[in-house]
Amino acid sequence: MTARKLAVVTAGLSQPSSTRLLADRLTEATVRALDGVEVEITVVELRDVAQDVTNNLLTGFASPRLDAAIQAVTGADGLIAVTPIFTTSYSGLFKSFVDVLDPQALTGMPVLLGATGGTERHSLAIDYAMRPLFSYLHAVALPTGVYAASSDWGSADGLSDRIERAASELAAQVRTSDRAQNIRDPFALPEGFSPVGAFGAQ
């Protein structure tokens, strides 16, 4: 079996960040759940490419560093996407990164949604903000999202169970995915395209 590619996008701004901490926990659990399947993991810390993301918004093209991150994310078999919740939603940096992706690039991508926040009151942000975003992109957002409030890191139960459940859902998708092996032709013409138009050369 060929190695599966797993991409991890984490939008935490501090270092170390609890967002990265959650991303790492989700990644470890997913690898465990994949049980023996070889996995190549690419972690994209958006903080490291924050300037490049802004420049891409302004110029329309990705720097080589950002392009490498985009290729790793869009060419993966599965994606773990974790953002802090700011002012009731995903962070601006997280959304900006999603905005520079080709809108078709995540089609069919299994995505484990994760989020962190100061209090558990924002836990539904995964379902009212993140989930519609990935639905729009035709990604496969997995049923279990994992929200970690500050208090969860000092709690004996709950978070670990959610991580394990979400990871097993992602692992099941990644195990059978052939996404990373698909070769996409950037010059594929739309079906039925004619260089003289629908009415022909007349």
Strands (E), the chain: 4-10, 39-45, 78-86, 89-90, 110-117, 140-141, 146-149
Judged by CB, which is closer to another protein: 156, or 196? 196
By CB under 8 A, is residue 196 in contact with another protein? yes
Spatial neighbors of 162 by CB under 8 A, at least 6 apart, are 144, 146, 147
Judged by CB under 8 A, the residue of 61, 131, 171, 182 near another protein is: 61
By CB under 8 A, is residue 64 in contact with another protein? yes
Q: 3-state DSSP call for residue 24?
A: helix
By CB under 8 A, is residue 54 in contact with another protein? yes
Q: How many residues does the chain have?
A: 202
Judged by CB under 8 A, the residue of 1, 176, 186, 191 near another protein is: 186
Site string for another protein, 6-45 (x = CB under 8 A): ----------------------------------------
By CB under 8 A, is residue 192 in contact with another protein? no
Cβ pair 31, 168 in contact under 8 A: no
